[in-house]
Structure 1
Amino acid sequence: MTDPEVIVVDDDEAVRESLCFLLEAAGYRCQAFASGAALLAAPPGPGAGCLLLDVRMPEIDGVTTLERLRAAGLRIPTIVMTGHADVPLAVRAMKAGARDFVEKPFSDGAILEAVGQALVDVGTDAPGREALARLATLSPREREVLDGLVAGLPNKTIAYDLGISPRTVEIHRAHVMEKFGARSLSELVRLALAAGIDPGARHK
């Protein structure tokens, strides 16, 4: 069987080279592009297994690149990489079809784990099923706090809306992240979206 191919798109040459070296050492084939425009000019074929896509790139950013691939009918498991994670960006990336969202700097182990999981999940809804199971463990108040976080609201606004203190919001937020196994806010948002939470709607 042919080794899975991972496509790396990053405008930083050193990042491209180090990622391809890491991936090839792990048994993957690697193809690298310096920009989203270059990838769109030579879109992935059916043999592509996974896409590692940087967000901050000149001309066409990573999320726009992913949106254009999706509009062209090309769906490939995509891991979005960024050093500037924020909730609106995470929501937009996931809506565009991103499978995972990793923040720079990341460890070799973290990126290999993300790639391996994306390839395992191809053609399945395993991430969604797992996220739904975690969502079911939340208390009603924790779910309300989660909805506020996914909507991009700061803790103080969530506290005001719910009639509780910001400190209480922080406690609920910590519990939610623990139950979801999330290490960052962007990861929590990714899992919440996979569970089907609509960032434009508030839970009643």
Structure 2
Amino acid sequence: MRYPVYLVDDDAAVREGLCLLFEAYKISVIAFDGPLTFLREVSLLPPGYLLLDLQMPELNGLELQRELIGKGIDWPIIIITGYGDLSSCRTAFQSRVVDFLAKPVDPEQLFEALGKAEELLGTVLEKQETEALFATLTPRENEIINLVCRGWGSKEIATSLNISLRTVDAHRANISEKLGTTSVAEFVQMKMKIQQG
């Protein structure tokens, strides 16, 4: 696993057992005894996978997920519970939870879920990185990249925006430098990445 696991569970025995399991497989794990403790520290933590107990006294796992999304944190979540029901399971998957595991957690199922979480986190971080690159573009550069992505050439863009061809080319050079590519196909792929929900 390239990223740490953040385990949030109010049951000390569960935390201890899962930490021992992760440590045996040399997976970095940081355990929290409740959601409020985790929320206080999350802004200082690097991205990772969240392993959340469904039933906790302060906030349940799905409520904690909503709090995190409100903070702009969309890391993959695996829900664990000793009291799961069909309704909770359905709600979890509608909330983009990677998996819903019953306690005691089966290690094979847990590692399979972590594999899915790793793939998802890579996609989330790549999207955030692309959004950060696009945030460096000026409003005019954004206009131009949108037209480039529609297949427009520099002459068509210059005519449409009532600016000189040289100005369009200068903007395109700036865009290429900021986004790290001159490929129109890559521009389109990057735009599609940040438009995906």
TM (normalized to structure 2)?
0.57
In the aligned structure 2, how far is the partner of 1:108 from the partner of 1:99?
A: 16
Equivalences for residues 102-113 of structure 1 within 5 A: 102-113=101-112
Please give the per-residue CA displacement for 1:19-48, whole angstroms capped at 9, x wherever unaligned.
Answer: 111112212111010111111111155633
In the aligned structure 2, how far is the partner of 1:92 from the partner of 1:56?
A: 14
Please give the per-residue CA displacement for 1:116-141, whole angstroms capped at 9, x wherever unaligned.
Answer: 2311333449xxxxxxxxxxxxxxxx
In the aligned structure 2, how far is the partner of 1:51 from the partner of 1:69?
A: 11
* Structure 1 partner of 2:184: none
Q: Which letter maps to 2:121?
A: V
* Structure 2 partner of 1:55: 54
SS in 2 for 1:43: helix
* Structure 1 partner of 2:82: 83
How many equivalent residue pairs? 124
Using the TM superposition, name which of 105-114 and 38-47 deviates more: 38-47
Please give the per-residue CA displacement for 1:39-97, whole angstroms capped at 9, x wherever unaligned.
Answer: 11111556332110001111211111111111221010110011122222123223333
Matched, 1:15 2:23: no
* Structure 2 partner of 1:41: 40
In the aligned structure 1, how far is the partner of 2:43 from the partner of 2:3?
A: 13
Would you say the 8 A contact 1:11–1:34 is kept in 2? yes
In the aligned structure 1, how far is the partner of 2:28 from the partner of 2:65?
A: 21
Q: Which letter maps to 1:28?
A: I
Which structure carries more relative contact order (alpha carbon 8 Å, separation 6+)?
1
Would you say the 8 A contact 2:78–2:97 is kept in 1? yes
RMSD: 2.1
Q: Call closer, same or farther: CA 1:69–1:113 in 2, change over 3 Å.
A: same
Q: Call closer, same or farther: CA 1:44–1:7 in 2, change over 3 Å.
A: farther
Q: Call closer, same or farther: CA 1:45–1:116 in 2, change over 3 Å.
A: farther
* Structure 2 partner of 1:66: 65
In the aligned structure 1, how far is the partner of 2:122 from the partner of 2:45?
A: 13
Q: Call closer, same or farther: CA 1:72–1:33 in 2, change over 3 Å.
A: same
* Structure 2 partner of 1:24: 23
Would you say the 8 A contact 2:77–2:99 is kept in 1? yes
Using the TM superposition, name which of 6-15 and 100-109 deviates more: 100-109
Would you say the 8 A contact 1:6–1:48 is kept in 2? no
* Structure 2 partner of 1:93: 92
User: Which aligned runs of 4 or more in structure 1 are off by greater than 6 angstroms?
Assistant: none
* Structure 2 partner of 1:116: 115
Q: Which letter maps to 2:49?
A: C
Question: How far off its partner does 1:113 sit?
Answer: 2.0
In the aligned structure 2, how far is the partner of 1:77 from the partner of 1:84?
A: 21
Would you say the 8 A contact 1:3–1:27 is kept in 2? no
SS in 2 for 1:80: strand
